[in-house]
Amino acid sequence: MSNSINQIRYVCAIGAMYTASAIPRVIPITHCGPGCSDKQYTNLAFYNGFQGGGYGGGAVPPSVNASEQEVVFGGNERLKELIEASLKIMKADLFVVLTGCIADLVGDDVGAVVGEFQERGVPIVFAETGGFKGNNFTGHELVTKAIIDQYVGDYDGPKEEKTVNVWSLLPYQNTFWRGDLAEIKRVLEGIGLKVNILFGNTSKGVEEWKEIPKAAFNLVLSPWLGLQTAEHLERKYDQPYLHIPVIPIGAKETGAFLRKVAAFAGLNASKVEKFIEQEEETYYHYLEDFSDFYAEYWWGLPAKFAVIGDSAYNLALTKFLVNQLGLIPGKQIITENPPEEYREAIREQYRNIAEDVKADVEFEEDGYTVGQKLRQTNFGHKPPIIFGTTWERDIAKELKGAIVEVGFPASYEVVISRAYVGYRGALTLLEKIYTTTISASA
């Protein structure tokens, strides 16, 4: 029996080079075989919303491009030469060395090589991210831990009240991460917090990472990604963390999310409610206008839906579609292979989608099997709407349904700053859903 996976929906651990490049003015250096770096870019940053490589991604990252010589004799000297050359011609606030399978298998002492530069005061860290260690979700937490331990360092000073570090969506893997993180930061600042968002255009880069130990608490806003980082920070800096599994989409979930954060942070409740009230007034004003369309076309709109993708968006979308649009869950499939220890907690979230609605979630990485499961799902007498990836386009046509690409790979979407979370993102999502639906029926 083959253990291969058809239509893969993530990359290997060295894909966390895009965790590094998602931090402004940080450049990854890859110690791997030829082509590895380029494949990460092609998959994560190009055929996934055509996001672009930014300052430190795309064609920028230096690579050892390990050959037979490095396999036989080791690649330490080649890596040292590459770092020296990179320092001469590249400007970065921080360099992050990531290893591939070759370096990890032959046993290159990357820590010793990088350590020489660290002793000289060079801002550089390393993470061992050979592909056999897992996918880019695993690599992400290896890189964040490396930056915290090797660059941010120890701290025993005072904490800043009302300051939070946010650990949420996986940069580049999530097609809409830039806009989503900007919206998360906006609403948290709206209730009175100072926010270290850490990744993306609204982050201050490594300056913000240096501020991590001073924060009053960490916020893990995802079903599981970021929990290991938050637990490490709790041990290292004695920082508490708040875990909210559901990324909020729309007024109901965003209001509930902000109240939970505010209670944990001890914020002034009246100021929090004032912000929520202002945001909801705007949100529902737009929905009032939208209701004219919905009242006219409700009979031709989908009743059942499926969500195929990473657990963070899968859970968030399912909650929004059920609780705020009244749609019926048909099939929920999580594709990023979450660690086994987190799966029961994820299942429990789906058992409580709404007061009288629950859904059975499945964990499946193989695209062929995903297609078979969708074919076997009873979507009723109306065509379904599928929230998935480019891989689901053919099955959506087969089922005569509509498809909204919401995850990797999304090669029929061009994404610049679009968000689907929070108040503003939900309005954009509604536009996308119903423009797609009426276009599919034309």
Quote the CA–CA distance of 175 and 245 in Å, as a whole number: 19
What does the pLDDT look like over 184-213, one tens digit per residue? 999 999 999 999 999 999 999 999 999 999
How far from the centroid of its chain's Cα atoms is residue 66's Cα? 30
Rounded percentage of the chain residues whose pLDDT exceeds 70: 97
User: Per the CATH hierarchy, to which homologous superfamily does domain 13-152 belong?
Assistant: Nitrogenase molybdenum iron protein domain (3.40.50.1980)
* Range 160-269 has CATH code 3.40.50.920: no
Band of the pLDDT at 1, cuts 50, 70, 90? very low
Distances (CA, A) of 354 to 62, 224, 275, 323, 329: 49, 21, 25, 7, 11
Helix (H) or strand (E) holding 403: strand 402-405
- Taking residues 384-410, what's their average pLDDT? 96
**Which CATH number applies to 301-411?**
3.40.50.1980
Identical fold between 13-152 and 301-411: yes
From the list 145, 410, 384, 264, the residue with the least C-alpha distance to 420 is: 410
Does pLDDT of 30 surpass 80? yes
**Domain spans, the chain:** 13-152, 160-269, 301-411
Name the average pLDDT for the chain.
94
* pLDDT higher than threshold 60 for residue 334: yes
CA distance 196 to 222: 16
Residues 282-321 have pLDDT tens digits of 999 999 999 998 888 776 788 999 999 999 999 999 999 9
Inform me whether the pLDDT recorded for 87 exceeds 80.
Answer: yes
Residue 408 confidence (pLDDT) above 70: yes
What distance in Å separates the CA atoms of residue 107 and residue 72, rounded to the nearest whole number?
11
Mean pLDDT across the stretch 355-365? 93
User: How many residues are listed for the chain in this entry?
Assistant: 442
- At 108-152, the pLDDT tens digits run 899 999 999 999 999 999 999 998 899 999 999 999 999 999 999
Average pLDDT over residues 155-177: 97
